[in-house]
Structure 1
Amino acid sequence: MSLPTLRQILELPAFAGAELLSGHSHLDQVVTWVHVAEVMDAWRFLSGGELILSTGLELARATPEERVTYLRALAQAGAHGLALELVQWIQEVPAELLQTARLLEFPILAFRREVRFADLTRAAHERILRPHGARGDEPLLEAILEALIETGRSQGFLQRQLGPILSLPSRPRSTLLSTLEALLASQFNIAETARRLGVRRQSIYYRLEQLRGMLGDLDSTERRLGLWVALELLKR
């Protein structure tokens, strides 16, 4: 599998409204995953190569020094870009943040209209999981699903990934599976998940607590990828 570069991610239709404000010389860095992260210590959850999406909620509340520290920490952790929605919480990239990004040659993208982060992450992840040279309708996900089914390992894989949920009665099983799918699609953005499911945020927090209690780790990229594959496998 050949991972896409930031330049190739920006060429996706979902990213058509993105404006590149810094880091032009680093557009050919590969993107390993796209995360939605509002917290100021997002660097703790990175493994390198990620593009971070944020509405700027916490940045709006932070001091100039905290913003600089935040960006430097992202760069040091190996993030390959920060995309900000300049609509609700901040309308312009803070000057000290942009200055630091240009000093570090760190890519900052700006969306000056409201965007659905779920659409951005879905488009990016489909591109990330597509083998080099494959047609758009033949993503790597299909090859993984077919391999699991053809080798008779699909049921074992489902049990390892979702076993505790699959053993529940129909109604709670359906509720938790749909919530997990929405969380993965929104990169665990609670507000976006609540909007997708038409429920209150508190309900999502409660269900997320249940999911963590039953499934354990939900934060690592590898774990989320496994859960995504398992959910797709259930649809077969």
Structure 2
Amino acid sequence: MSLPTLRQILELPAFAGAELLSGQERLDGYITWVHVAEVLDVARLLSGGELLLSTGLELARTTPEARVAYVRTLAEVGVGGLCLELVQWLQELPPEMLQTARMLQFPILVFRHEVRFAELTRAAHERILHPGAFEEEPLLKSLLEALIETGRDKRFVERHLGALLRLPSRPKSTLLATLEALLASQFNIAETARKLGVRRQSIYYRLEQLRGMLGDIESPERRLGLWIALELLKR
């Protein structure tokens, strides 16, 4: 698999409006995955090459020294870049973070308007997982077409979403939309709540409903199956 560079990720339409403040020297570094993360000790969970997305919630609450340490640890583990939304919690990148990032040649990019992290991760992951077919066809298009052409699409949807599809119209549409938003945000509760315009507690409640009706929904294999089934429903 040919991984995209940070430069190529920033060329995606979903990233239009992103402003690169530091790390221009690292634009040709490869991006292995995209994560939404607010916690400051996220570096211990990473393996290098990731692009992090954050609203800056915890960065706004902590000290300048902790913000410097945050940037340093990300650079030390080989993170590919940090993308911050400068809207709610931070309106400007703290100067100590910018200074540290420039000294370490660590890429920090910012959005000065609200963006949907789910759309950013979806676009980037499509580019990462399907480099050869990126320009020609949407994510999973050939697989979806194969299921439809062989007549296995309805059985596939029933296997993965049958319990939801038998619900009355209103709860069915609510839970299907919640499931799709959870998958798109990698089960980030805050991002899902923001996308759907509801409180986090509502998402926690719906997640328990989904688990009760569908069983395991968080393993990589199950997520893929659910994502394909949701796409088939749109056809």
C-alpha spacing 1:153/1:64, structure 2 compared with 1 (3 Å): farther
* Structure 2 counterpart SS, 1:72: helix
C-alpha spacing 1:216/1:98, structure 2 compared with 1 (3 Å): farther
**Map of 1:12 onto structure 2:** 12
Instruction: Give, in angstroms, the shift of residue 156 of structure 1.
Output: 8.8
- Render the CA deviation track for 1:78-128: whole Å, top value 9, x for unaligned: 421101111221122122222222233211001122222233223223322
Residue 58 (1) aligns with residue 58 (2): yes
Instruction: Give, in angstroms, the shift of residue 144 of structure 1.
Output: 3.4
Asked if the contact 2:24/2:105 (under 8 Å) is kept, the reply is yes
State the number of aligned residues: 231
Residue 170 (1) aligns with residue 167 (2): yes
Q: Distance in 1 between matches of 2:41 and 2:162?
A: 34
**Map of 2:38 onto structure 1:** 38
C-alpha spacing 1:70/1:135, structure 2 compared with 1 (3 Å): closer
Which range is displaced more, 142-151 or 49-58? 142-151
Amino acid corresponding to residue 46 of structure 1 in structure 2: L
* Structure 1 counterpart SS, 2:130: coil
Asked if the contact 1:3/1:31 (under 8 Å) is kept, the reply is yes
Asked if the contact 1:166/1:173 (under 8 Å) is kept, the reply is no
* Unaligned 5+ runs, structure 1: none
**Map of 2:189 onto structure 1:** 190
Instruction: Give, in angstroms, the shift of residue 166 of structure 1.
Output: 3.4
Q: Distance in 2 between matches of 1:222 and 1:106?
A: 33
TM (norm. structure 1) is 0.78
Instruction: Give, in angstroms, the shift of residue 77 of structure 1.
Output: 3.8
**Map of 1:103 onto structure 2:** 103
> Equivalences for 1:155-234 in 2 at 5 Å?
163=160, 166-167=162-163, 169-171=166-168, 174-211=173-210, 215-216=215-216, 218=218, 224-225=223-224, 227-234=226-233
Q: Distance in 1 between matches of 2:197 and 2:184?
A: 15
Residue 2 (1) aligns with residue 2 (2): yes
Aligned-pair identity in percent equals: 74
Q: Distance in 1 between matches of 2:172 and 2:46?
A: 30
Instruction: Give, in angstroms, the shift of residue 181 of structure 1.
Output: 0.5
**Map of 2:113 onto structure 1:** 113
- Render the CA deviation track for 1:156-211: whole Å, top value 9, x for unaligned: 9768xx75x63354245654332120122234443442344343321112223444
Q: Distance in 1 between matches of 2:79 and 2:216?
A: 25
Q: Distance in 2 between matches of 1:29 and 1:20?
A: 14
Q: Distance in 1 between matches of 2:222 and 2:77?
A: 20
C-alpha spacing 1:196/1:99, structure 2 compared with 1 (3 Å): closer
C-alpha spacing 1:195/1:101, structure 2 compared with 1 (3 Å): closer
Asked if the contact 1:131/1:139 (under 8 Å) is kept, the reply is no
